[in-house]
């Protein structure tokens, strides 16, 4: 049961709510307990909160014609971090990525009038650290007027772009050849494909900023054999910028693989970059400035559910949330509760202006 400390005179308290949410582990693939807890809490706070078929918590507020969707994620990477306060810092897995931004948005929405021009939908999505099953389940709904993806940008910054991602598996199975035969080994064939891919990336990356570069990382590599047959397997993650379609990269990879190397695609999403001239982005600039900050726009080399939703919906979109993204996935993950409240205040002002 949620602690009554999560409310003060009927208003959701961000620090208390986040503390409670951190105490329930929600590693990707095992989010059900945290989703159920949050859904119950939000229903008790006046939201129309339900769990959809994908396992997302979907909480609705307001009944106006202007549709604002705020999508965060409740799943986390593995790793237990004791939930604790040290001064103003609140530690716990998911404090930054991304339960903190999610809680800031929930509190901001709860401060909006129930009746007016707007209706708000807050989604605590599952599987963002996996294959974005939670976000993909939202694609069938009507596109909203505004999309805010809840990821850490820092309370005084707004993210407008993410790289795309391709995750592939390469494989070779072949008869063993004598070492002096001149025939490439299974490992040689895999290394050859990766070398060609890195060469393609190096040529593209000349003179490019980091966000506009192609990044290639081998995440797993193994080989073996029984004296008659040999094999090699590799997993590779490729980050692609705007202007480099994932399909083009995969087509080139297929040519390099030829008939000898198998290619399997585990995941792909295109890069996304949204304009900073929209009314939504401008509202964040004003809210941050009015809160005493100097607004900044960011682009990130990772991916988020914004890659899935923004291109499909075509509406104004940004990613925003309190917290230091450099602490994502680290053993020291924590968020400053002062910044958490600042982020909630910015979101409150943005939603009021929209």
User: Which tens digit of pLDDT belongs to each residue from 180-197?
Assistant: 777 899 999 999 999 999
Same domain, 173 and 238: yes
Q: Where residue 90 sits, what CATH number does that domain have?
A: 3.40.630.10
- Distances from the Cα of 44 to the Cα of 26, 50, 60, 249, angstroms: 21, 12, 13, 48
> Of 207, 241, 269, which one is at a domain's C-terminal end?
269
Same domain, 10 and 138: yes
pLDDT one-digit tens code per residue, 47-93: 999 999 999 999 999 989 999 999 999 999 999 999 999 999 999 99
Which pLDDT score is estimated for 268? 93
The residues carrying an active-site annotation are: 75, 128
Same domain, 123 and 215: no
Same domain, 120 and 175: no
8: pLDDT strictly greater than 50: no
pLDDT one-digit tens code per residue, 208-262: 999 999 999 999 999 999 989 999 999 999 999 999 999 999 999 999 999 999 9
pLDDT one-digit tens code per residue, 117-140: 899 999 999 999 998 999 999 999
In the structure encoding, which two tokens stand for residue 350, read together?
A: 């943005």
Quick count: other Cβ atoms within 10 Å of Cβ 294? 9
Q: Where residue 257 sits, what CATH number does that domain have?
A: 3.30.70.360
Same domain, 11 and 55: yes
Q: In 3D, which of 5, 272, 35, 51 has the Cα closest to residue 149?
A: 272
Number of helices (H) and strands (E) in the chain: give both, helices first: 9, 18
Q: Which domain holds residue 83?
A: 4-162+272-353
CB contact set of 336 (below 8 Å; sequence gap of 6+): 88, 89, 90, 322, 323
Greatest CA separation found in the chain? Answer: 80
Give the count of domains, the chain.
Answer: 2
pTM for this entry: 0.90
User: What is the 8-class DSSP label of residue 211?
Assistant: G
- Let me know how long the chain is: 354
Which pLDDT score is estimated for 90? 98
The answer to whether 130 and 77 have CB atoms below 8 angstroms apart is no
> Of 269, 291, 313, which one is at a domain's C-terminal end?
269
Helix (H) or strand (E) run with residue 37 in it: helix 32-44
The chain-wide mean pLDDT, for the chain, equals 94
Same domain, 324 and 284: yes
Same domain, 120 and 202: no
Same domain, 78 and 107: yes
Same domain, 149 and 294: yes
Same domain, 238 and 343: no
246/249 Cα distance (integer angstroms): 5
Same domain, 111 and 74: yes
- Mean pLDDT confidence for 318-332: 96
Same domain, 26 and 67: yes
Q: DSSP labels for 61-128?
A: EE--SEEEEEEEE--B-S-----EEETTEEE-TTTTTTHHHHHHHHHHHHTS-SSSSEEEEEEEES-T
């Amino acid at each position: 049961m949620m602690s009554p400390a999560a409310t003060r005179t009927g208003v959701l308290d961000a620090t208390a709510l986040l503390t409670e949410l951190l105490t329930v582990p929600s590693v990707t693939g095992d989010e059900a307990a945290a989703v159920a807890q949050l859904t119950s809490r939000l229903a008790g706070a006046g939201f129309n909160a339900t769990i959809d078929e994908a396992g997302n918590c979907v909480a609705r507020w307001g009944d106006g014609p202007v549709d604002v969707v705020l999508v965060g994620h409740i799943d986390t990477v593995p790793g237990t971090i004791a939930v604790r306060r040290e001064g103003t810092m609140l530690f716990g897995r998911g404090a930054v990525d991304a339960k903190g931004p999610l809680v800031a948005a929930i509190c901001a929405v709860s401060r909006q009038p129930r009746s007016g021009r707007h209706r708000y939908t807050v989604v605590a999505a599952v599987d963002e650290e996996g294959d974005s099953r939670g976000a993909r389940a939202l694609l069938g709904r009507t596109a909203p007027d505004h999309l805010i993806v809840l990821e850490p940008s820092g309370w005084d910054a707004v993210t407008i772009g993410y790289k795309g991602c391709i995750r592939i598996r390469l494989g070779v199975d072949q008869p063993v050849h004598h070492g002096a035969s001149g025939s490439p080994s299974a490992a040689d064939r895999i290394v050859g494909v990766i070398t060609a891919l890195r060469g393609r990336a190096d040529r593209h990356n000349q003179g490019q900023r980091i966000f506009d570069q192609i990044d290639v990382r081998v995440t797993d590599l193994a080989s073996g054999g029984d004296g008659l047959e040999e094999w090699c397997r590799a997993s590779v993650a490729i980050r692609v910028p705007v202007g480099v379609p994932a399909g083009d990269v995969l087509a080139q990879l297929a040519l390099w693989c030829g008939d000898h190397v198998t290619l399997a695609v585990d995941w792909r999403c295109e890069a996304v970059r949204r304009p900073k001239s929209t009314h939504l982005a401008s509202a964040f600039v004003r809210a941050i400035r009015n809160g005493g900050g100097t607004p900044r726009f960011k682009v990130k080399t990772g991916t988020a559910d914004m890659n899935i939703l923004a291109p499909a919906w075509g509406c104004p979109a940004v990613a925003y949330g309190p917290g230091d993204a450099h602490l994502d996935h680290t053993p020291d993950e924590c968020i400053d509760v002062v910044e958490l409240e600042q982020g909630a205040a910015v979101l409150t002002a943005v939603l009021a202006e929209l």
